[in-house]
């Protein structure tokens, strides 16, 4: 794998905010509570349209948090959600955020063949561009499901017109992960191909530890998560990539029956603390959109 970072992109990734701090990428994966992969064994896709959707109200809360913190970010949005809540998509764009793709139906890239994956990423890109009125340059695979066995997906994304992906998590995990991947932005197939921007990790004792959000951010003490991101900024001199989901700010969400203990713990731990932690993040770091940090977009 060619992991050499093009000098122009490296310079863009290290652009600093007005106060001299490195800009980090605030990203939100726009999906609802019943669409998470951990619940796939107990929630039939056919039931999605009849379930209570809470994503729109949660996104409005997130937009308020980001506005209060003067933060612009990137919203990796499911086509299935965008199709049902077009006004919400328009509000995201009107607030100055980047609209990016999370695929159409929250299917893992690793569960699709080339034709299926190409149809999914093309369908979602076209739909989001029609709704948002702006080019969709970025993609994030559901459950970070691009890894060693399906790197062909990166070529398919490039062929479909995407400029970057944020689909690889360079850790060992039971549901995803590519531990041997580079920790920071790289071109898997050379500088003329797609840019991959992995979720943030810290290097400790020969291991890469997760430091980019999600369940780890809810589980670990906030001070530890802040220290890890500060280490990436100050020691590695790189932008951190932080991600979260709208349902993580919603402790009152319905709780489907039948999930195993591990899935319940991962999904529900510290939901009541998440909104306050996101608000604190907006004060503790400098943030921006993925496209502006890594592509130099205006």
Contact 245, 28 (CB under 8 A): yes
Phi, psi of 98 (to 5 degrees): -85, 135
Which tokens hold the place of 61? 């809360």
CA distance 179 to 117: 23
Question: For residue 244, what pLDDT is reported?
Answer: 98
Chain length of the chain: 298
Q: For the chain, where are the alpha helices, taking DSSP H only?
A: 7-13, 55-68, 79-84, 86-94, 114-132, 152-159, 214-219, 222-234, 261-268, 271-284, 290-294
Residues sharing a CB contact under 8 Å with residue 52, sequence separation 6 or more, in sequence order: 254
CA distance 223 to 225: 6
Question: For residue 173, what pLDDT is reported?
Answer: 61
Q: For 72-213, where are the alpha helices, taking DSSP H only?
A: 79-84, 86-94, 114-132, 152-159
Phi, psi of 164 (to 5 degrees): -145, 160
Question: For residue 9, what pLDDT is reported?
Answer: 46
Handedness of CA 59, 13, 147, 178 (dihedral sign): negative
Contact 36, 259 (CB under 8 A): no
Question: For residue 18, what pLDDT is reported?
Answer: 65
Question: For residue 4, what pLDDT is reported?
Answer: 47
In tens, the pLDDT along 117-135 reads: 999 999 999 999 999 999 9
The DSSP code for 220 is S
The residue to which tokens 């979260």 are assigned: 244
CA distance 36 to 7: 37
| Low-confidence stretches of the chain (pLDDT beneath 50) | 1-4, 6-13
Question: For residue 179, what pLDDT is reported?
Answer: 83
Q: Write the CA distances from 3 to 104, 183, 198, 212, integer angstroms.
A: 28, 10, 12, 20
Which tokens hold the place of 46? 């056919």
In tens, the pLDDT along 52-104 reads: 999 999 999 999 999 999 999 999 999 999 999 999 999 999 999 999 999 99
Other residues' Cβ atoms within 10 Å of the Cβ of residue 262: 10
Residues sharing a CB contact under 8 Å with residue 81, sequence separation 6 or more, in sequence order: 30, 31, 32, 55, 88
Other residues' Cβ atoms within 10 Å of the Cβ of residue 141: 31
Burial 209-236 (b: 16+ CB within 10 A, else e): ebbbbbbbbbebebeebbebbbebbeee
């Amino acid at each position: 794998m060619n992991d050499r970072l093009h000098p122009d992109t490296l310079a863009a990734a290290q652009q600093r905010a007005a106060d001299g701090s490195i800009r980090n990428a605030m990203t939100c994966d726009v999906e609802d509570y019943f669409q998470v992969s951990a619940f796939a064994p107990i929630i039939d896709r056919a039931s999605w349209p009849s379930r209570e959707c809470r994503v729109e109200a949660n996104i409005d809360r997130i937009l308020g948090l980001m506005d209060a913190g003067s933060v612009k970010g990137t919203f990796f949005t499911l086509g299935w959600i965008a199709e049902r809540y077009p006004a919400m998509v328009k509000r995201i764009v009107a607030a100055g955020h980047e609209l990016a793709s999370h695929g159409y139906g929250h299917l893992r890239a690793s569960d699709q063949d080339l034709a299926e994956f190409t149809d999914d990423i093309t369908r979602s890109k076209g739909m989001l561009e029609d709704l948002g009125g702006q080019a969709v340059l970025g993609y994030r695979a559901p459950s970070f499901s691009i890894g060693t066995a399906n790197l062909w997906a990166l070529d398919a994304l490039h062929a479909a017109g995407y400029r970057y992906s944020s689909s690889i998590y360079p850790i060992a995990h039971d549901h995803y992960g590519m531990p041997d991947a580079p920790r920071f932005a790289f071109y898997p197939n050379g500088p003329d191909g797609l840019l991959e921007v992995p979720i943030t990790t810290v290097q400790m004792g020969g291991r890469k530890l997760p430091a980019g959000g999600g369940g780890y951010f809810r589980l670990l003490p906030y001070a530890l998560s802040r220290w890890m991101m500060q280490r990436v900024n100050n020691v590695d001199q790189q932008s951190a990539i932080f991600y979260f989901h709208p349902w993580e700010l919603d402790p009152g969400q319905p709780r489907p029956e039948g999930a195993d203990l591990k899935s319940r713990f991962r999904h529900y731990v510290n939901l009541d603390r998440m909104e306050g932690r996101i608000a604190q993040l907006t004060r503790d770091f400098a943030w921006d959109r993925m496209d502006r940090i890594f592509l130099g977009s205006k």
